[in-house]
Amino acid sequence: MNYTLNQLRIFLKIVEKQSITKASEELHLTQPAVSIQLKNFQNQFPIPLTEVVGRQLFVTDFGQEIAEAARRILKEVDGINYKLLAYQGELAGRLKISVVSTGKYVMPYFLSNFMRENPGVDLVMDVTNKSRVVESLEENQVDFALVSVLPQHLNLNKVGLMKNILHLVGNPKYFNKVKLGKSSFSKDTPLIFREKGSATRAAMETYLTKKNVTVSKKIELTSNEAVKQAVIAGLGCSIMPLIGVNNELKKGDLKIIPLKDLPVITTWNLVWLQNKKLSPVALALLDHLNATKEKVIKDNFAWVQEY
């Protein structure tokens, strides 16, 4: 056998994505190039690694075992590279962070200088909903997680990064004003929610419970971007993090609708398990954040004060 590390990486990405097209997009390669590498890799085994049923690609049991072996090999190769860089005096290693979906508007700004200053550090950032973020913490799959609502059942350390401000927003063409009665929003004002498990939904429901408000008409969507587009289209209003709607507010596609006891204000916290032994890379990031977070906020998020 004479397979290459590049073939291992490509095959592993195909297994992860269950698709040659998606793997090629993530690897920034053409689809034919990925297909050729898969074929060359497959030719070295007498047993199929993948099979196509209809138009769907499936990985065989043997292919899954080869993928697991490839994962271990590539991890060892990365370890060799990190040791070399460390021997040369550079900070090196892998940093794994799980980020709630709205946190994608926040975390990159706090990481960018650190990553530029430390080219030997590889970053894996998973952007998902709060339930999956908490699960990754519980299972010790990540170094850190970015959340705006702390999971109470976990013993965590935290570094507060910045405020998370949530306003009621709507498209001014359809919802210039919103009437909130003693017990409910008016029937002609649907509220758009994130899915259960979302921190944004939790903040929204906390507000409604505090005001003892029922919702006459509810729409549920599964991503912050989907909620934003639905509000722009006039499907309803939603309580959304300000950090994710700045451009739409400037263009006039959305408007903040004043309402008593709003905005809701939480804090973006970078958290980790109290009993976790942090790597040198993770410890270096914490030092970096404590030293630079105020400047990051001033340089990138001063516009929040306008609202």
Q: What pLDDT is attached to residue 75?
A: 81
Distance CA 172, CA 167 (A): 14
- The pTM assigned to this predicted structure is 0.72
Are residues 122 and 38 both part of a single domain? no
CATH number at residue 30: 1.10.10.10
Distance CA 245, CA 168 (A): 11
Q: Is 109 exposed, middle or buried (0-12, 13-18, 19+ CB in 10 A)?
A: middle
pLDDT band for position 305 (cuts 50, 70, 90): confident
Are residues 135 and 215 both part of a single domain? no
Are residues 103 and 251 both part of a single domain? no
User: What's the domain count of the chain?
Assistant: 3
Are residues 155 and 272 both part of a single domain? yes
Q: What pLDDT is attached to residue 283?
A: 92
DSSP state of 189: -
pLDDT tens digit sequence for 230-263: 999 999 899 999 999 999 999 999 999 888 888 9
Q: What pLDDT is attached to residue 252?
A: 92
Write down which residue in 85, 107, 132 finishes a domain. Answer: 85
How many CA atoms lie less than 13 Å away from 297 in the CB half-sphere?
14
Q: Is 267 exposed, middle or buried (0-12, 13-18, 19+ CB in 10 A)?
A: middle
Q: What pLDDT is attached to residue 306?
A: 82
Write down which residue in 85, 111, 129 finishes a domain. Answer: 85
Domain residues for 210? 163-266
Q: What pLDDT is attached to residue 26?
A: 81
Are residues 102 and 229 both part of a single domain? no
Residue 184 has pLDDT above 80, yes or no: no
Are residues 196 and 60 both part of a single domain? no
In sequence order, what are the beta bridge partners of 158?
271
Are residues 262 and 177 both part of a single domain? yes
Least confident of 2-6, 75-79, 103-107, 208-212: 75-79
Highest mean pLDDT, choosing among 87-96, 164-173, 200-209:
164-173
Q: What pLDDT is attached to residue 292?
A: 95
Residue 34 has pLDDT above 60, yes or no: yes
For range 6-20, the mean pLDDT: 90
Are residues 156 and 176 both part of a single domain? no
Are residues 183 and 259 both part of a single domain? yes
Which residues are within 8 A (CB) of 146 and not within 5 positions of it... i.e. 6 or more apart?
97, 98, 99, 100, 103, 106, 107, 133, 161, 268, 269, 270, 271
Residue 181 has pLDDT above 90, yes or no: no
CATH number at residue 272: 3.40.190.10
Write down which residue in 36, 52, 85 finishes a domain. Answer: 85
Are residues 275 and 131 both part of a single domain? yes
User: Is residue 30 helix, strand or coil?
Assistant: coil
Are residues 154 and 97 both part of a single domain? yes
Residue type, 240: M
| Cα–chain center distance at 36 | 32
Q: What pLDDT is attached to residue 56?
A: 87
